[in-house]
Structure formats: structure tokens, C-alpha cells
Amino acid sequence: MNVIKNRFIYFIVSGILVLSSLGFGLFSQLNLWIDMTGWVQMEYSHNGSLSSEEIISSIKEISEWILHEGVWAMNGVSVYAIVWEDRLVVVGGFYENIPALQLEELKNSFRSQVTQKLQEYDSTTIESKYVNIGKSFGDYIRNTAFLTLGIALVAITFYIVWAFSGVVSGISILSFGAITLLTLFHDIIISTGLYIFAGSIFSEFQIDTFFVTALLTILGYSINDTIVVFDRVRSNLREFAGKKWKKWKNLEEIINMSIGETVTRSIYTSATLLFVLIAIFFFGPESMSGFILVMIFGTIIGTYSSLFIASPLLYEVNKNKILSEYVKKEENPDDKLVV
């Protein structure tokens, strides 16, 4: 399996996917859920008659007529009943690009129309609670998400540098960490771009806190797959690098051999996970569909990058290095003596 020979094909494919994903993220309208934008929450007390599907449909119809400059201003509506307490909760989210003054007017309009509609169904309906969350809360959630992802990426990179220290003379230790960081960025960017593209077609795929959780999960899965391949590379470097006669192999041969030894395991493991994710996507709860879709994208992209991006990049960075035979460091027992 000569992955190194065809590495530039894989680099071009990844380059196209990364650029396309960045384009989707930068130039398309993001389908943000209400926890990422400004939103309102109204809670209503009633005598037990506000739990029908007709009421939910009416509230969602009201949201479709909340417009800003002729365009729908609301990015989502959630309606649920607390049956045992005879309460109904309505949550409405608004797009973040609406000026603050107009946003407050739209929120008040939505609030008053919903209250009026519910009182038409049940005159005893009373608004018992009203919560108005501004755009700053959505900004806080997004900033926290970016910070969490950044900390995870940096921590993983330092761990890889430490774990692969002392691989073999001639190979840059930092290259393992830098390439791992680059492939993780690769996985996150492409998975995000594919999800944004799906969200532009199907409105139910919205960017929310579940989406951020899915990205963090992808990091954990992708790094696991990359470490398996790199660990095989490390073992083969120690076995064949710098050796004489028939046992000697160059870096290209070693990396190709390592990929060949791990590709079956990686594909089988990913396929098993994909079977479960696809089953949950089609037969699981609708509220989890976005999270599962991101996981599906991340699983496929993460497996691809571990085999066809990370290892070729390791070769590209170190292809001109002179490999020497690995010599295990001997510990001097006297060093452990405490005087």
C-alpha cells in the first residue's frame, strides 16, 4: 500500500475540502440555534387545556410572521408543556444580525402575539415568567466553545510531543505534535463545513452546544486513530531505521508498512462506529440528529486524515533527514541513589 507515493493526491483533496469548508463558514448564513443567539422564554400558567398539537402549531405559525426588513427574524421556536404543573413554556430565538432596538421590538411583538393566542384558547392563561436573553449570552457561549477547543488542541499537542520523545535519532519530535495539531484542525474544519452545508439545506441541523460537544468528541476519536498509526511508525522506526543489510528500510518504506499494518484495524473500527451512529441518526431522537451527523462526518474525516494525511505529512517533514539506529538509553543504578 503505497500511500506516500500518492500523497499529493490526498493533500489536494484535503485542500479542496478545507477551502470549501472555510467558504461555507465565512460566507454563508449560519443556522444558529437559540442558545447561540438572543432569545426569549415565556412561561404560562393555565387550567390544563394548553397541551395540544394545535397550540404548538399556532405558535410556530406566529414566529413565521416575525419579520425584519421582510426577512424571517426568528431562527427557531421551541414549545413544550409541563403537564403535571399545568404550565406551557415557549422559547424563541432570533438571528444575531438584527440591531438591538429592532430586536427588542420583535421580541415584544412575538411575546404579545403568543400571549394573545394562548388566551384565545384559554382565557385563564397567565404569563408567569418572562426571560429575555441578549446577544451577549450567545457571544459568551461561542467564545467559551472556541476557548475549550483551543485548550484541547494545545493539550493534545503537548501530550503527543511528550509521548513520542526519543523515537529515533534523525526524526523531529516536534513534527509528531505539529502534524497531529494540523490534522485535528483539518478534521474540525471539514466536519464543521460539511455540517454548515447540511444546515443550509435542512433547517433542523443547527449549530448549538451539542454541536460543540460533537467537535470535542471528534478530537478524542481522531487523536486516538492518529496515535495508533504513529505508534506503529515509531515501532517500525526502532526496528528498521539505521539498520544494516537486509533489515534496513528507508522512511518511505517504514511509513507505508506502518499504514498497511493499521489500515484494516482503523477501517473496521470506524465502520463499526458508523453503523451505530447511522442507526441512531435514523431511529434515535430527533433532538440528537445534529450531534450524530457531526459525529458521522468526524468519524469519516478523522479516519481518512489519520491514514492519508498525518502519515504522509510526517514523511514530507522528515524525508531529508538521515535516520540512525535506535539505541535504548541505559539507566545507571547509581543515579537513583540518594546520599
Low-confidence ranges of the chain (pLDDT < 70): 1, 48-51, 83, 135, 138, 166-170, 242-247, 324-339
- My answer on whether 23 and 161 are in the same domain is yes
Domain range enclosing 181:
7-30+137-318
- My answer on whether 179 and 312 are in the same domain is yes
- Total domains, the chain: 2
Sequence-distant (≥ 6) Cβ neighbours of residue 236 within 8 angstroms:
249, 254, 257, 258
Cell of 149: 477547543
- My answer on whether 150 and 269 are in the same domain is yes
Sheet architecture: strand order including 87-94: 74-82, 87-94, 39-45, 126-133
- My answer on whether 262 and 179 are in the same domain is yes
Report yes or no on 337 lying in a domain. Answer: no
132, β-bridge pairs: 40
Look at residue 183 in the predicted model and tell me its pLDDT: 93
- My answer on whether 247 and 146 are in the same domain is yes
Look at residue 337 in the predicted model and tell me its pLDDT: 46
Look at residue 325 in the predicted model and tell me its pLDDT: 64
- My answer on whether 129 and 144 are in the same domain is no
Of 133, 150, 178, the position where a domain reaches its end is 133
Look at residue 1 in the predicted model and tell me its pLDDT: 67
Q: What's 91's domain CATH number?
A: 3.30.70.60
The pairing of beta strand 71-72 with beta strand 74-82? unpaired
Look at residue 18 in the predicted model and tell me its pLDDT: 95
Q: pTM score, two decimals?
A: 0.78
Report yes or no on 334 lying in a domain. Answer: no
Burial category of 45 from C-beta neighbours within 10 Å (exposed 0-12, middle 13-18, buried 19 and up): middle
- For the residues of 106-165, what is the DSSP string, one character each? HHHHHHHHHHHHHHHH-TT-EEEEEEEE-HHHHHHHHHHHHHHHHHHHHHHHHHHHHHTT
- My answer on whether 100 and 223 are in the same domain is no
- My answer on whether 233 and 101 are in the same domain is no
Burial category of 146 from C-beta neighbours within 10 Å (exposed 0-12, middle 13-18, buried 19 and up): exposed
- My answer on whether 102 and 122 are in the same domain is yes
